[in-house]
Amino acid sequence: MMIAARTARVLRRARLGHHAMSTVRALPTFELVPSPADVPQDLNGKCKMYENQPGLPKMPVPELADSCSSFLKALEPLTYAGEEVIDEATKAVALFLEPGGEGQALQEELLRRDSESEGTSYIAPFWNDMYMRGRWPVSVHSNPGGKCTTRQFEAVGAETQLERTAVWIRASLAFLRRANDGSLEADVFRRTPLDMRAYCKMYGSTRIPLAEKDEHVQVANFGGVDCGYGGVRHVVVMIDGCVYAVDVISPDGRELEAGAIHRQLERAAKLHESRPQEGRGNLEERVGMLTTLDRDRWAAARKALETDEVSARALNGIDSALFAVFLDSRAEVEEQARACDGDLRAAMVRNGLAGCGENARNRWHDKSVNITVDDQGMPYYSFEHSWGDGISVLRWG
Bigger pLDDT: 62 vs 48:
62
Bigger pLDDT: 218 vs 13:
218
Residues 6+ apart with CB under 8 A from 355: 326, 328, 332, 361, 362, 363
C-beta of residue 374 within 8 angstroms of C-beta of residue 328: yes
Q: How confident is the model at residue 107 (pLDDT cuts 50, 70, 90)?
A: very high
Mean pLDDT is lowest, of 70-84, 103-117, 130-144, 195-209, for 70-84
What is the rounded CA–CA span in Å between residue 347 and residue 334?
Answer: 7
**Which residue type is seen at 1?**
M
Determine what percent of the chain is predicted with pLDDT higher than 70. Answer: 85
- Secondary-structure breakdown of the chain: helix, strand, coil percentages, each rounded to the nearest 5: 50, 15, 40
- Say whether pLDDT at 390 is over 90: no
- Say whether pLDDT at 105 is over 80: yes
pLDDT score recorded for residue 284: 55
Bigger pLDDT: 228 vs 212:
212
pLDDT score recorded for residue 41: 66
CA nearest to 280, candidates 317, 241, 311, 244 = 241
Q: How confident is the model at residue 230 (pLDDT cuts 50, 70, 90)?
A: low
Half-sphere exposure for 89 (CA within 13 Å, toward CB): 17
What is the rounded CA–CA span in Å between residue 158 and residue 325?
Answer: 17
CA nearest to 186, candidates 319, 52, 23, 348 = 52
- Say whether pLDDT at 139 is over 90: yes
Bigger pLDDT: 21 vs 315:
315
Q: Which helix (H) or strand (E) holds 37?
A: none
CA nearest to 206, candidates 8, 14, 7, 385 = 385
